[in-house]
Each structure stands twice: as C-alpha cells, then as structure tokens.
Amino acid sequence: MKRVVVALGGNAILESDPTAAAQQKIVQETAESLAALLTDEMELVIVHGNGPQVGNLMLQQAASDSVENPAMPLDTCVAMTEGSIGYWLVNALTNALEKRKITRDVAAIVTQVEVSQNDEGFVHPSKPIGPFFSESKAQELMEMTGALYMEDAGRGFRKVVPSPRPIAIKESKTIQLLLENGVVTVAGGGGGIPVVQSGGGLQGIEAVIDKDLAAEKLAELIEADTLIILTGVTNVFVHYNQPNQKALETVSISEIEHYIKEGQFAPGSMLPKVEAAVQFAKRRPTNKAVITSLENLKNLGKGEQGTVVVQKEQMAIR
C-alpha cells in the first residue's frame, strides 16, 4: 500500500464567511479533491490546520468569559476545533467516497502531540492564528490584550502564539492500526493538542503546533511514502512577489536549504512547509514531499506536481 499524508491548511476551510455552513461547504469541495486522489492501493491520512478557526473560537471564549462560563485555555480550544473540523471532514469524505462507490471507512482521532517545555518557540511566538486585521487595529488589540500581532505574508496582521516543534505523537500507533485496516484517517488536526511531560504525566500547554511539522512527524512515525502539503499556491516561489520571482519544481534538499538560508520563505507561513518537506525527504531515499495547491491535487502524477523535494540522488530518476 502507498501510504500518503496530506496536510490541509485551515485557511483552505475558512475563506471569508466563518459560519459553520460556509466552512462545511468548502470542506465538501475539499473532500471531493481528496476522494479523487484516493486509490485502492493508497492508505491516506489527512492532517488539517485550524489557525482561523481556533483564533475565532478564542475570541468567542473571551467575549463570553465569566465566573459562570469561564473561557477555555488555548490547548482545549485546539481540541475543540480538532473535533469540529474532524467531524466536517469525516462527514464530507464519507459522502464523497460513497458517490464514487468506494467502500472505505473514515474516522477522525483526537491527537495529542508532545512538545518540549524548553522549546525556543515559547520564547519567540511565531504562529499566526485567527482573523486578519489592519495594522492600526492590530496595534489597538496589542495595547488592549498584551498579545503579539505580526504581519502575515502581506495579507494583514494576525495574532501570533508560541509554536513549539513536535517531538512525539501519542496516538501514532493507533493511527497506523487504522490505516492497516483500510480506514481513511483524519488526525493531528491543528497540529495536534500540545502536551508536555511533567511530574504528573501528560499536561496540555498554551501553544499551537504548526500542522505541517506535525504532519511530517506523523508521516515519519507511520513510515509514509509521500507527504503532500497543500497551500494557496501551485508552487513554492523564490523572490516571491518580485520581478525575478521563480517557481520551484523538482528540487534537491541542498538547493532548497540554500534558499532557506537566504531567507526566501516567510516564517510562520511558507517556511514551516518547506522545512517539513525537507525533513521528510531526508528520512529515506525513496521519500517524496510535495508542496502544491488543493486545485492542483488532481494533477499529481500527470507531470504537474507543484514543488517536489527529493534527495539529490533521486534527481536523475525524475
């Protein structure tokens, strides 16, 4: 079986209308693309983002915070959105597969992802969550709440929170069992629920794990063959939005690491995707990491593969 992990961005679920109906409609369209990707020989895991959703939920929590109805902490909000988006994806994928007469079960699993309490991500928050704001509104919110807001890829300002790197995924063996039994699995939603080891065992912590790095860690632990990271563009670009902009196609690890050192990719945006792709490609010579758009998913394997990261010795084969 070809084992594939697909990382789906939270912004691919929420565009401008944050209602449940609007998000479910986008999820249904996404599920159609994922169902078209699935083959009889494929074992498929879907890891979804939740940046816009968990940010909106935190705003709702803050607005209704009271002694009688206290706001939930960030790790719990991650779990809540992992459950709701997981439900939407399972429902939509089940319907999409049934339309294609594909008999496969679909399940979502609440996933705890272990991080280190000493991770530098807690010192330098970098993960954007929630809606976009103008610079003036972001400044106002920073003064009111003490939270940090930063520009996100030229699209506006968003709240940023600690984003520690994943070191273990507690449910990885369970996920592997589901795959071995033919279950299309939704896991690691929002990068997973961040937990740390302490004297009292596992405990949740205030953070958001990058879902692309969590998808890469999961792909490593379940020995996946391909990691597909979906984003808003068909290819990764260097010199982005400049006159000498260049789309990357099949690239070696050494080449893309050179671009990382040049600072070609935005932290909290494209950089984690590229770093995840590089990490996965390094695991085994046969591993392949693809970064592309949801719209291009149907073209994979047809010569239009987006940006493909491989080990140097694999370049000649391609």
In tens, the pLDDT along 23-41 reads 999 999 999 999 998 988 9
What value does the mean pLDDT of the chain take?
Answer: 90
Give the max Cα distance, the chain: 64
Reported confidence tier of residue 316, pLDDT bands at 50, 70, 90: very low
- Choice among 127, 159, 217, 288 that is catalytic: 127
- Choice among 159, 211, 217, 288 that is catalytic: 211
Residue 137 among the catalytic residues? no
Residue 190 among the catalytic residues? no
Q: What percent of the chain has pLDDT over 90?
A: 68
Contact 318, 308 (CB under 8 A): yes
Residue 211 among the catalytic residues? yes
Reported confidence tier of residue 146, pLDDT bands at 50, 70, 90: confident
CA 239 to chain CA centroid, Å, is 24
Residue 11 among the catalytic residues? yes
Can you tell me the distance from the alpha carbon of 209 to that of 236, in angstroms, rounded to the nearest whole number? 22
Give pLDDT tens digits for 224-282: 999 999 988 899 999 988 999 999 999 999 999 999 999 999 876 889 899 999 999 99
Can you tell me the distance from the alpha carbon of 36 to that of 278, in angstroms, rounded to the nearest whole number? 26
Tokens of 87: 């439900």
* Closest C-alpha among 159, 76, 152 to residue 125: 159
Residue 282 among the catalytic residues? no
Number of helices (H), then strands (E), belonging to the chain: the values are: 8, 17
Supply the Cα-derived Rg of the chain in whole angstroms: 19
- Choice among 9, 10, 51, 188 that is catalytic: 10
- Choice among 11, 91, 95, 299 that is catalytic: 11
